[in-house]
Homo-oligomer: A and B are copies of this chain.
C-alpha cells in the first residue's frame, strides 16, 4: 500500500487545525518550506509549531495567522537576525497574539528525545541559572544540579529528505539536528522528498534511513521543497531570498504582499520555483562529492 500522496492531501489529512507540528528539525537546512506554504494556502489555524531554529518558516506561518503557539529555541531569520512577523505577533499581537514556550536548543532536543523514548522527562545539566527556567513550565528543578525537561510529543513531524520510496523508506544525509528525535516522538510523520526512488535503492543502505518506515504516514514528491534552505547534494542556500524576505516584511502590508505573491497565488512547488527564476538553477552544485562506496554483503 503506497503512502505516496500529493502534498495538499497529506496536509489536509495529517495537519488539522490546532495540530502540534514539528518543522525545521535540521536547523538551517532541509526546512520543509513547501509543506509550510501548503498549510498557509489551506488556511490552517491554531497550530503549535515545534522546532529548535526554524529560520524564516515559523516567521511566515506566524505572519499568515496560522499559529497559536511556538515551542522553540530561536525564531528569526538566520541571515538577518530578527523575524519581523514574530516580533509583531509577540510584541503587538499582530496578526494575532501567540504563546511562546522558550527553550534552548538542548532543552528542546531533550524534550523531543524524551518523547521518542516514551518517558515523561529527561534530566539535564543545562539552563541552571537561566531565566528560561522560570518562564517555561516544561522545565523544572529536579534535584541540585539537574533540571527536568518534560517530553515534547508533536502530533506530526514534517521532514524534507533527499530520497524516499512510496512505502515510507527514506534516506537523509547531512547535519540531522533533532530529525530522529522529532520523527520518533511524533504521532505521525510526513516526508517531503526531492526524489521518489525504487524501494531497493533505500534498502541498499539501511544505516542512511533516519526513521523506522512504519511511523511514516505520507510521502510527497516535492522537488525543491526546502528552498530557500539547502539540501545536501541537491541545492545550496538561497541567501538572496532570505535577505529579500527580511527587507520585504518590515511591515505587515509588506508581508501580506510577499505572502500573496510567494505563497497564496502560487498553485504548487513547481510554480513557486518558476518565480524564483534564474536563481533556482544557479543553486545546483557545480561539483560532485560522492561518498566512498560501502558494501553490505
19 contacts between A and B (CB under 8 A): A119-B124, A119-B125, A119-B146, A120-B123, A171-B294, A173-B207, A204-B289, A207-B208, A232-B297, A233-B296, A233-B297, A286-B297, A287-B297, A288-B297, A289-B296, A290-B293, A290-B295, A291-B294, A291-B296
Contact-residue bracket for chain A: 35 or more
Q: Mark A187-212, 1 if CB is under 8 A from B, else 0.
A: 00000000001000110110110000
Which residue of B has the minimal Cβ distance to A205?
A: B291
CB distance from A175 to the nearest CB of B (A): 9
- Residue A33 lies at the interface, judged by CB distance under 8 Å to chain B: no
- 7 shortest A-B CB distances, which residue pairs? A285-B297, A205-B291, A233-B295, A289-B296, A291-B294, A289-B297, A201-B292
- Residue A74 lies at the interface, judged by CB distance under 8 Å to chain B: no
- Residue A122 lies at the interface, judged by CB distance under 8 Å to chain B: yes
CA distance A162 to B122 in the complex (A): 34
Tell me whether B122 and A123 are in contact (CB under 8 A): yes
CA distance A121 to B145 in the complex (A): 12
Which residue of B has the minimal Cβ distance to A287?
A: B297
Residues on B with beta carbons closer than 8 Å to the beta carbon of A118: 125
CB distance from A209 to the nearest CB of B (A): 11
CA distance A40 to B82 in the complex (A): 61
Residues on B with beta carbons closer than 8 Å to the beta carbon of A292: 171, 197, 201-202, 204-205
- A interface, CB within 8 angstroms of B: 117-125, 146, 162, 171, 173-174, 176, 197, 201-202, 204-205, 207-208, 232-233, 285-297
B119, B125, B207, B293: the one within 8 Å of A174 (CB):
B207
Tell me whether A291 and B204 are in contact (CB under 8 A): yes
Residues on B with beta carbons closer than 8 Å to the beta carbon of A289: 204, 295-297
Tell me whether A232 and B296 are in contact (CB under 8 A): yes
CB distance from A179 to the nearest CB of B (A): 11
Residues on B with beta carbons closer than 8 Å to the beta carbon of A205: 173, 291-292, 294
Q: A207-B208, A208-B207, A289-B204 are in contact. Are A294 and B120 (CB under 8 A)?
A: no
Which residue of B has the minimal Cβ distance to A106?
A: B117
Q: Which of A118, A204, A297 has the most CB of B within 10 A?
A: A297
CB distance from A171 to the nearest CB of B (A): 7
Q: Which of A121, A123, A285 has the most CB of B within 10 A?
A: A123
CB distance from A202 to the nearest CB of B (A): 8
Residues on B with beta carbons closer than 8 Å to the beta carbon of A176: 207
Which residue of B has the minimal Cβ distance to A296?
A: B289
CA distance A291 to B292 in the complex (A): 10
Tell me whether A291 and B285 are in contact (CB under 8 A): no
CB distance from A181 to the nearest CB of B (A): 13
Residues on B with beta carbons closer than 8 Å to the beta carbon of A285: 295, 297
